[in-house]
Amino acid sequence: MPDRKTHLEVDRALFGKEYNKMHAAKDLPAKWMGPRHRSILHDPASDLLLAMALYPGDPLGAYASGFAHDLIDMASTKAKRIANKKKGEKRRR
């Protein structure tokens, strides 16, 4: 799972600033749900609500950051599944 540092680096690269409160809110359920936390607060509607609540002065930037967060997490999950599948195939040979 990408850590907060990774999300903040992407923020700086894409948006020129960090949206730390956005990432903290999206990943808060990870404390008790682990990787399954992505089943909540990782969708466009949640991104919009969090952006408006946490960044009323910059909701568009915060929304984009939240959306990027979701994409990074999805890509990470997909990469791990592919790697695990390849490991399983190697073991069966």
For 63, residues 6+ apart whose C-beta sits below 8 A from its C-beta are: 47, 48, 51
pTM, full prediction: 0.87
Which is nearest to 42 in space by CA: 79, 84, 2? Answer: 2
Assigned token pair, 17? 């600033």
Domain assignment of residue 9, given as a range:
4-92
The count of domains in the chain is: 1
Amino acid identity at 91:
R
Instruction: Report the alpha-carbon distance of residue 56 to residue 91 in Å, rounded.
Output: 52
Task: Note down pLDDT in tens along the chain; length 93 residues.
Answer: 789 999 999 999 999 999 999 999 999 999 999 888 889 999 999 999 999 999 999 999 999 999 999 999 999 989 988 998 887 776 665
Which is nearest to 20 in space by CA: 32, 5, 34? Answer: 5
